[in-house]
């Protein structure tokens, strides 16, 4: 087997099978940019973040008055019978309009704490969005590299079939002149059949990887995929530095800490139910034809109400205890998230650190297997080796090359996995050529929106 094109196939780009639509070469950065824009999981999380933004204006509504208008109309008829005077009938149409305004002046600081709790929830959701972005980009990297790897493996298997077909032809020629036996021919036939089986399996695997690529990235991979660029300059220099960076900035941890703040403020909101509340109210009403002797009536009032809770059946106390338990849960979850991030960093660092050594060892194995195959073939020509020996050594070389290709893929994925583990796998860090999604824009659009059902995009 010729080694050119196999060892470098994953590094120099791979031409996929003809069933993939023809187009120019596609880079990993371009695939990641496409996933960043079109991945449904990521877009759904962005929509969820926009929905969480609305919790803030809902909480701010506690500072604003509530205004209610009423109107009524009726028809009445009164029949009166007076002894000695006969019966009289009166008909009239009582109607009126009213306006009621209520304004909370004090409610145990529940509105202020509710606003701050909602803002903490928004911050937590933004960090959760960053974490989902990381997960999606890592899935995209994995899908891209799997297609690249499986295309290279398919090329490897196809070349192996071509070599074995030529070897079978040569074996038959030697059999015709009496240099080898029928056993050698059948061994060559068996080797070719096995190689074709492996080739068909490689084709099926490439199709499966392509389907996953389409699912994650949102489009069919182009005919030629370019190699992935190295990430060494984006990665920490030591495991200690990686752990310190991850524990300080990983979005999963930051999101969990904001969730703790949100839960702490919810405790204060629940406790506010035990405080007095003061509400101001005003009303206007205009009525017409309210009775036989009243044709028009106007009324106006303004006042304030002080409400002091004494006992509400224990509901407020229960809600306060519940909020405190939730706060404890969020603190524990934050600790768990820290340990998960630490473990992920250590694991990713180990995989990435070992990947270079694995590639070097696999490359040495391929080179040694190539030399060994060349020697076995020469020995077979002079009768010192059998056809089975040649086939076995060819399989050893094939397996070594396949393992090398997988190791090259694993190193790229390990680099991106480490970047994700420390919380830096995002469009900004990778400098993707795509408009970065900024959740602050939507938040600013709706935070102080007093009225209107249309969302900022007009729907």
Segment-wise mean pLDDT, segments of 10 residues, the chain, 459 residues: 39 38 70 94 96 96 95 84 73 89 95 96 97 96 92 86 82 81 84 88 92 92 79 90 94 97 97 95 89 80 95 94 97 97 96 90 87 82 75 80 87 94 94 93 92 81
Give the pLDDT confidence score for residue 348 in this predicted structure: 95
Residues 6 or more apart whose Cβ sits within 8 Å of residue 197: none
> Which pLDDT score, from 0 to 100, does residue 351 have?
92
**Terminal alpha carbon distance of the chain:** 62
Residues 6 or more apart whose CB falls under 8 angstroms from that of 284 comprise 98, 99, 299, 300
- The pLDDT assigned to 458 comes to 63
* Angstrom distance (rounded) from CA 114 to CA 30: 43
Q: Is the pTM of this model over 0.95?
A: no
Q: Is the dihedral of CA 112, 118, 124, 130 positive or negative?
A: negative
**Domain spans of the chain?**
12-64+110-271+332-446
232/415 Cα distance (integer angstroms): 8
Q: CATH assignment of 12-64+110-271+332-446?
A: 1.20.1600.10
- pLDDT, position 15: 37
Q: Please give the pLDDT value at position 166.
A: 80
């Amino acid at each position: 087997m010729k080694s050119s094109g196999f060892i470098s196939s994953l590094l120099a780009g791979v031409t996929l099978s003809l069933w993939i639509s023809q187009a120019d070469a596609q880079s990993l950065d371009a695939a990641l940019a496409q996933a960043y824009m079109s991945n449904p999981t990521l877009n759904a999380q962005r929509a969820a973040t926009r929905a969480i933004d609305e919790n803030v204006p809902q909480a701010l509504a506690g500072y604003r008055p509530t205004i209610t208008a009423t109107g009524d109309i009726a028809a009445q008829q009164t029949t009166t019978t007076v002894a000695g005077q006969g019966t009289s009938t009166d008909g009239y149409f009582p109607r009126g309009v009213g306006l009621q305004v209520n304004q909370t002046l004090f409610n145990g600081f529940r509105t202020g704490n509710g606003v701050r709790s909602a803002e903490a929830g928004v911050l937590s959701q933004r960090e959760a969005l960053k974490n989902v972005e990381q997960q999606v980009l890592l899935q995209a990297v994995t899908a891209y590299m799997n297609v690249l790897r499986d295309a290279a493996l398919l090329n490897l298997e196809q070349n192996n079939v071509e070599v074995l077909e030529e070897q079978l032809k040569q074996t038959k020629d030697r059999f015709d002149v009496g240099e080898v036996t029928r056993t050698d021919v059948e061994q060559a036939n068996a080797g070719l059949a096995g190689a074709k089986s492996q080739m068909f399996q490689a084709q099926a695997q490439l199709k499966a990887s392509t389907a996953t690529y389409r699912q994650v990235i949102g489009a069919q991979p182009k005919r030629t995929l370019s190699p992935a660029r190295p990430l060494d300059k984006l990665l920490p220099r030591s495991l200690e530095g990686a752990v310190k960076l991850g524990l300080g900035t990983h979005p999963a941890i930051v999101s969990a800490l904001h969730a703790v703040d949100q839960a702490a403020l919810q405790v204060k909101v629940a406790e506010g139910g035990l405080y007095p509340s003061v509400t101001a109210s005003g009303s206007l009403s205009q009525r017409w034809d309210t009775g036989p002797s009243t044709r028009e009536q106007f009324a106006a009032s303004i006042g304030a109400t002080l409400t002091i809770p004494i006992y509400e059946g224990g509901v407020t106390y229960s809600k306060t205890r519940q909020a405190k338990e939730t706060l404890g849960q969020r603190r524990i979850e934050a600790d768990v998230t820290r340990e998960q991030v630490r473990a992920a960093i250590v694991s990713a660092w180990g995989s990435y650190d070992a990947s270079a050594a694995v590639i070097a060892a696999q490359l040495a194995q391929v080179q040694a297997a190539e030399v060994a195959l060349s020697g076995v073939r020469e020995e077979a020509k002079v009768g010192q080796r059998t056809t089975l020996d040649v086939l076995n050594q060819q399989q050893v070389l094939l397996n070594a090359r396949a393992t090398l290709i997988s190791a090259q893929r694993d190193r790229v994925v390990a680099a991106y996995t480490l970047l994700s583990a420390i919380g830096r796998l995002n469009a900004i860090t990778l400098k993707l050529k795509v408009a970065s999604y900024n959740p602050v824009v939507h938040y600013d659009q709706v935070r102080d929106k007093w009225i209107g059902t249309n969302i900022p995009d007009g729907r």
